[in-house]
């Protein structure tokens, strides 16, 4: 069982470049999430998708877009990367946001550096 798979694991971008982080889960989960983690800041929610066909902003959505391609896949796009977006990005999923037992399963993370 792969769980949550993120690609790429590492990426270096120049300011202004665009890129897409890919995430796929094989657990038949309905809800998926993108977090960023910066030193001393904990996990901050960028966007989430409660179910296929829906997406919602989290705490820090500016500069990002998302696509819930199907039930398995949830991508995060940086249209014009900025140094402030240098971070570690985690994708996660849960069976359903509509359950209080919101146990998250995380991917391995994607380390992004914007020069």
Partner 1 sequence: QKEVEQNSGPLSVPEGAIASLNCTYSDRVSQSFFWYRQYSGKSPELIMSIYSNGDKEDGRFTAQLNKASQYVSLLIRDSQPSDSATYLCAVNMGGNTPLVFGKGTRLSVIA
Question: Could you list the residues that contact partner 1 (CB under 8 A)?
Answer: 33, 35, 40-45, 48, 50, 58, 90, 97-98, 100-104, 106-109
DSSP 17: -
At closest approach, how far in Å is the CB of 93 from partner 1? 12
The distance of closest approach from Cβ of residue 1 to partner 1 in the complex, given in angstroms and rounded to an integer, is: 15
Cis peptide leading into residue 8 (ω within 30°): yes
Closer to partner 1 by CB, 75 or 90: give it: 90
Report the Cα 4 to chain-centroid distance in Å.
11
By beta-carbon proximity to partner 1, the closer residue of 11 and 17 is 11
Shortest reach from residue 15's CB to partner 1, in Å: 25
Q: How far is the CB of 88 from partner 1 (least distance, A)?
A: 9
Instruction: Annotate 35-102 with DSSP letters as a single string.
Output: EEEETTTEEEEEEEESSTT--EE-S--TTEEEEE-SSSBEEEEESS--GGG-EEEEEEEES-TTSS--
Cβ closer to partner 1: 62 or 100? 100
């Amino acid at each position: 069982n792969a769980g949550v798979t993120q690609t790429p694991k590492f990426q270096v971008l120049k300011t202004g470049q665009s890129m897409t982080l890919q995430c796929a889960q094989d657990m038949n989960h309905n809800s998926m999430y993108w977090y960023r983690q910066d030193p001393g800041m904990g996990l901050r929610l960028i966007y989430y998708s409660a179910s296929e066909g829906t997406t919602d902003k989290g705490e820090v959505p500016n500069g990002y877009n998302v696509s819930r391609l199907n039930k398995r896949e949830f991508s995060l796009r940086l249209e014009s990367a900025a140094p402030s977006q240098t971070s570690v990005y985690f994708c996660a999923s849960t069976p359903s946001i509509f359950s209080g037992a919101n146990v998250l399963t995380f991917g391995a993370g994607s380390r992004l550096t914007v020069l």
